[in-house]
C-alpha cells in the first residue's frame, strides 16, 4: 500500500518543537506534525479556581483551552465568539487535553497554582487533538521547570511524559499518524493518549460506517505504542533544548523524565 504522502504504514510525519514561541507564557512550543501546526502555551497563575477554595481541595489545578484559528482550515472557520459559545468539538477536545495532562501531573506537588494550557491550531492537516496533547506536555514541562529554576518548586510535578497519536485503517491496512486525506477516507480512526511507559490514558476509536476486528484494533494499538516511543524521545530533547533551568535543575529534570 502506498500512502498519499509516500510514508510507510508505521511512519510518523516529521515532528518538531519550536520553544519560546509565546514569550509571555511561562512555557510554550510550536508543535508540528507534518502540516499540522499548533501553538501550545502554558501560563502559571498563582491562584486556584473558586470551586477548589469553596470545597477546600488541596493542591493546584491544570486546565486547557483549544481553538482552531479561522485560517487553520481550507474554508475559513468562524470564531467561537461570533456564535456566542464554544462549539461542541472544541469543548470536547479541550476537556480531553486537560484530563490527559492532569493524569501525569501531581496536582498536590504543584501547590496553590493553576496551569492554563492554551492550544491554538495554526494549520490543520489531521491530528490536531493529539498534536495539542503532545505539544502541551512539552509546554507544561518547560513551565514547571521554570518554576523550579525560580525556586518556586522543589520537585518536578510531572510524573511522566504523555503524548497523543492517531492510528487507523486506511485501504484495509493499519497505519500510523493519519494526515487529513487519510483521516477523511479511513474506515476506522483511533486517537490514543499514552504515557511514555505505554500506559493508556484514553483511547477514542470508531468505525466510519464500518466495523473492525480485534486483530485490527491490536494492530492500531501496536502502531500507537511505536509512535509514542519515538515521540517521547523527541519530547525529552525539546524540553532539554528549551534550556529554561540552571544546570543543576536541568540535571534533575533529565533524571525525572528518564526515571
The CATH number given to whatever domain includes residue 206 is 3.30.230.70
Q: Please give the pLDDT value at position 94.
A: 96
- Is residue 176 within 8 A of residue 34, CB to CB? The reply is no
The verdict on residue 111 lying in a domain is: yes
Residue 252 has pLDDT above 60, yes or no: no
114-123/188-195 β-pairing: unpaired
- The answer as to whether 238 is a domain residue is yes
Sheet containing 61-68: give its strands across: 15-19, 27-33, 36-45, 114-123, 61-68
Q: What is the pLDDT of residues 219-235, one digit of tens each?
A: 999 999 999 999 999 99
Check residue 22 and give its pLDDT. 95
Which pLDDT score is estimated for 251?
A: 44
Q: How confident is the model at residue 152 (pLDDT cuts 50, 70, 90)?
A: very high
pLDDT exceeds cutoff 50 at 249:
no
Answer yes or no: are the C-beta atoms of 38 and 182 closer than 8 Å.
no
- Position 33 in a domain: yes
Known binding site: residues? 89, 127-129
* pLDDT range class, residue 243, cuts 50, 70, 90: low
pTM above 0.85, yes or no: yes
Summarised one tens digit per residue, pLDDT across range 186-221 is: 999 999 999 999 999 999 999 988 999 999 999 999
Residues 6+ apart with CB under 8 A from 218: none
| Three-point CA angle 95, 144, 197, nearest 5° | 65
Residue 250 has pLDDT above 90, yes or no: no
Percent of the chain with pLDDT over 70: 93
Contact call for residues 101 and 114 (beta carbons, < 8 A): no
**Is 1 contained in some domain?**
no
120, part of any domain = yes
* Residues in Cβ contact with 149 at an 8 Å cutoff, skipping those fewer than 6 apart: 244, 245, 246, 249
Q: Is the model more confident about 133 or about 78? A: 133
Structural domain boundaries enclosing 58: 15-76+86-257
Mean residue pLDDT across the chain: 91
> Per the domain annotation, does 4 fall within a domain?
no
Output the pLDDT for position 31: 98
Is the pLDDT at 258 greater than 70? The verdict is no
Domain count, the chain: 1
Average of pLDDT values for 226-255?
A: 75
10 belongs to a structural domain: no
Q: Quick one: pLDDT at residue 245?
A: 41
Q: Is the pLDDT of residue 253 over 70?
A: no
Per-residue confidence (pLDDT) for residue 255, from 0 to 100 = 54
pLDDT in tens, 56-115: 999 999 999 999 888 898 888 877 777 777 888 889 999 999 999 999 999 999 999 999
Would 192 be classed as within a structural domain? yes
Cα–Cα distance between 13 and 178 in angstroms, integer? 9
Q: Which residues are annotated as a binding site for phosphate?
A: 89, 127-129
Amino acid at each position: 500500500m502506498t500512502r498519499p504522502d509516500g510514508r510507510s504504514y508505521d511512519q510518523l510525519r516529521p515532528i518538531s518543537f519550536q520553544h519560546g514561541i509565546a514569550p509571555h507564557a511561562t512555557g510554550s512550543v510550536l508543535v508540528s506534525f507534518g502540516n499540522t501546526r499548533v501553538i501550545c502555551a502554558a501560563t502559571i497563575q498563582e491562584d486556584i479556581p473558586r470551586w477548589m477554595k469553596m470545597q477546600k481541595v488541596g493542591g493546584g489545578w491544570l486546565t486547557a483551552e483549544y481553538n482552531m484559528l479561522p485560517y487553520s482550515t481550507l474554508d475559513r472557520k468562524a470564531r467561537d465568539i461570533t456564535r456566542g459559545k464554544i462549539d461542541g468539538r472544541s469543548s470536547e477536545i479541550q476537556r480531553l487535553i486537560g484530563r490527559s495532562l492532569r493524569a501525569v501531573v501531581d496536582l498536590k506537588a504543584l501547590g496553590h497554582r493553576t496551569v492554563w494550557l492554551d492550544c491554538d491550531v495554526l494549520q490543520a492537516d489531521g491530528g490536531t487533538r493529539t498534536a495539542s496533547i503532545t505539544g502541551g506536555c512539552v509546554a507544561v514541562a518547560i513551565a514547571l521547570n521554570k518554576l523550579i529554576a525560580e525556586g518556586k518548586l522543589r520537585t518536578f510535578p510531572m510524573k511522566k511524559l504523555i503524548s497523543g497519536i492517531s492510528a487507523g485503517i486506511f485501504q484495509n491496512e493499519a497505519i500510523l499518524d493519519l494526515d487529513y486525506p487519510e483521516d477523511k477516507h479511513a474506515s476506522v480512526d483511533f486517537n490514543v493518549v499514552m504515557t511514555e511507559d505505554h500506559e493508556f490514558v484514553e483511547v477514542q476509536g470508531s468505525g466510519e460506517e464500518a466495523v473492525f476486528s480485534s486483530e485490527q484494533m491490536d494492530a492500531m494499538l501496536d502502531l500507537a505504542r511505536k509512535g509514542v516511543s519515538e515521540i517521547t524521545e523527541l519530547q525529552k530533547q525539546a524540553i532539554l533544548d528549551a534550556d529554561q533551568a540552571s544546570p543543576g535543575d536541568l540535571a534533575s529534570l533529565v533524571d525525572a523524565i528518564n526515571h
